[in-house]
Chains A and B, each alone.
Chain A
């Protein structure tokens, strides 16, 4: 399995940078974005992104908004929410909007790795199924 391709989105630049370093060290391909808008731009450029790690609370376009945009355009890409709140409601809202899971900030890195792994697996399984379906369709269409 290829290393998961991750987009890390947060308005806190030092947090994103350090996290990127740590995740990269753990053999993940990580790209960074510092706002919801930037995240969407990065997504259009990198269509093969597996997982987006998304902070809920950001100035401008916030996490929930960004999430729904992502899910609209790239339904297969999994999103893990990072929340600063002890409350679960924003996380629940995120889950309803199609997030894969949520973690509380500051989060345990190992836990995050596990979640990223699960999300990547889910996304790729999904892709495989679609590919299989497409193959089947192609076969039946061409009548091999």
Chain B
């Protein structure tokens, strides 16, 4: 039994595993594929978008800064062109010009100076005392003399603080002179430092030698890649904007955007931590991962629960099918036994009839004169009477057997089950009183009437009640009779609290000739007749019993026109509660 049970469960386990695997594969695979594809697409387009945005930002600032420098240059050029060297040589005049410039542009212009061809400053306007300073050796002076104008890198100069200068060469009466303006580094620095995006984005400017032209927000090593890489670009590449992604020294991924300013002299670098630049994407990724995780967990849970439930249902269905098969075999067995029994009964009936008649004949003969005086006359009479009695007993048995097996019915009529049960209880009342048993009835009102043979149905329930009474010990007991409607069936329950039926005997009680009563007390036909009658009606009779607790019979009878047809209601479990 245990062996077979183990064999039974293994295909279910396999089925469960297959079901589970399929559910998981079919659900998780598309989930992961879709997530990966969408996330990849989103990442690509989002990165492009961010890079485009940064490129545009830097492009704009490049133009801004270039424009700023150009403007300042043209301001100084205009100033140099508008006035003669003579006029400009007067410090007060120069002071006025500086004042006007400062009025219109703020404190961008720090000071102005006029330098002659020998590099000596002949006039100065500004906050510093730089009168007659010599610039003949200064880099910017040499460059400005060679070209029309010059914009210097940022340097500390004579004054000791960072600044850069714009110098414009002009000629007056054949004599070259230079107008020099100092541009406030702070103002310029602000222009660059304004470029701030997110938490880590900032910008700065390097010159060709890799020296800072503006103050970077963070510590930067300009002699490292990728700055050196940018500075290594040739003329052609310097017109474009470059975007690269690199890891910095501390291992963080950064985006670098580089653009050249001032005709390739300066490099504007914008840099931002990749995690900051793509923070939106990172957030989306995080949310997506959480969703995928939750979905994965729910798929797993569903797969496990679903497979277990489905396999459970299949196992239950299989079990029910097996039970049904058993019942069919049982029914077939009963039917064949019934047929056999009826054949035997028929064959026995005639010899018994003859025997009884012969005995009767002897009895008749005993009445003759010659036997009247026989000394054994009484003994003869007793023996003959015994033959007669036993013959009747045989007749009773064969008649019961035949009624179990008979095919057609007597009178079919409308039967009110409640009224009928009342009558049966009244019939049994006398016996019940002697047996010290109380019969309790619990009838549902408005029960539908049944189209059956009343005598047959009476036989069924009389049998059940008689059995229940027989099952009681000397202390008596209690019988509960209930009527209900179950689906398309009338359900009658006969419950007793007698000695119960042993589990091993339970599946034999409907077999003909099976009895536990003492010899001569029962024929073993009562329940098989009940079974035959109820089956013929298309109904069902079920039994459950616990040794020492009692026995429950459930009789299901189809209400109308449902004969020989399975209908719902009676397939329910015997252990179900009545209400």
Q: A interface vs B, CB < 8 Å? A: 12, 14-15, 18-19, 21-22, 25, 57, 84-89, 92, 104-107, 109
Contacts and interface: CB of A to CB of B under 8 A. Distances in A.
Most buried by B among A22, A86, A104, A105: A86
B410 A105 contact: no
Closest 7 CB pairs of A and B: A86-B399, A106-B353, A106-B356, A18-B357, A84-B349, A86-B403, A15-B354
A84 B346 CA distance: 7
A106 B352 contact: yes
B361 A86 contact: no
A92 B410 contact: yes
B410 A22 contact: no
Contacts of A92: 410
A107 B349 CA distance: 11
A96 B493 CA distance: 38
A18 B350 CA distance: 13
Contacts of B349: 84, 105-106
Point out which of A87, A106, A107 has the most chain B C-beta atoms below 10 A from its C-beta: A106
A82 to B, nearest CB: 9
Given A57-B346, A106-B353, A106-B391, A22 B361 contact: yes
Interface string B347-369: 00110111011101100100000
Nearest to B401: A86
Interface in B230-258: none
Contacts of B99: none
B357 A15 contact: yes
Given A14-B354, A22-B361, A87 B346 contact: no
A105 B402 contact: no
A21, A87, A89, A92 pick with most chain B CB within 10 angstroms: A87
B357 A19 contact: yes
Contacts of B398: 86
Interface of B: 346, 349-350, 352-354, 356-358, 360-361, 364, 391-392, 395, 398-400, 402-403, 406, 408-410
Nearest to B342: A85
B360 A22 contact: yes
Nearest to B404: A86
A21 B363 CA distance: 12
Nearest to B392: A106
15 contacts: A15-B354, A15-B357, A18-B361, A21-B361, A22-B364, A25-B364, A84-B350, A85-B399, A87-B406, A87-B410, A89-B406, A89-B410, A107-B353, A109-B357, A109-B360
Contacts of A89: 406, 408-410
A8 B346 CA distance: 20
A131 B170 CA distance: 176
A34 B577 CA distance: 60
A25 B402 CA distance: 33
Nearest to B399: A86
B395 A106 contact: yes
A25 B349 CA distance: 25
Nearest to B358: A18
A25 B363 CA distance: 11
Nearest to A91: B410
Contacts of A14: 354, 358
A104 B402 CA distance: 13
A15 B406 CA distance: 25
A105 B350 contact: yes
Nearest to A26: B364
Contacts of A105: 349-350, 353, 395
B350 A15 contact: yes
A85 B409 CA distance: 13
Contact of A87 (B358, B391, B403): B403
B174 to A, nearest CB: 155
Contact of B402 (A19, A22, A86, A109): A86
Nearest to A82: B353
A78 B3 CA distance: 71
Contacts of A88: 410
Contacts of B408: 87, 89
B392 to A, nearest CB: 8
Contacts of B350: 12, 15, 84, 105
A15 B391 CA distance: 14
B339 to A, nearest CB: 14
A22 B357 contact: yes
A140 to B, nearest CB: 46
A110 to B, nearest CB: 10
A27 to B, nearest CB: 12
Given A12-B350, A92-B410, 11 more contacts: A12-B353, A14-B354, A14-B358, A18-B354, A18-B358, A86-B400, A104-B399, A105-B349, A106-B352, A106-B357, A106-B391
A10 to B, nearest CB: 9
A21 to B, nearest CB: 6
A39 B135 CA distance: 167
Nearest to A13: B354
Nearest to B359: A18
Nearest to A106: B353
A22 B395 CA distance: 20
Contacts of B356: 106
Contacts of A19: 357
Residue with the greatest number of chain A CB neighbours at <10 A, chosen from B349, B391, B408:
B349
Nearest to A85: B402
A12 B354 contact: yes
Nearest to B350: A12
Contacts of B406: 85-87, 89
> Which among B350, B398, B399, B403 has the highest number of chain A CB atoms within 10 Å?
B350
A85 B410 CA distance: 13
Contacts of B346: 57, 84
A134 B409 CA distance: 44
A41 B403 CA distance: 34
Contacts of B358: 14, 18
B366 to A, nearest CB: 11
B395 A87 contact: no
Nearest to B403: A86
Contacts of B391: 106
Contacts of B361: 18, 21-22
B156 to A, nearest CB: 134
Nearest to B394: A106
A85 B346 CA distance: 8
Contacts of B357: 15, 18-19, 22, 106, 109
A14 B352 CA distance: 11
B411 to A, nearest CB: 9
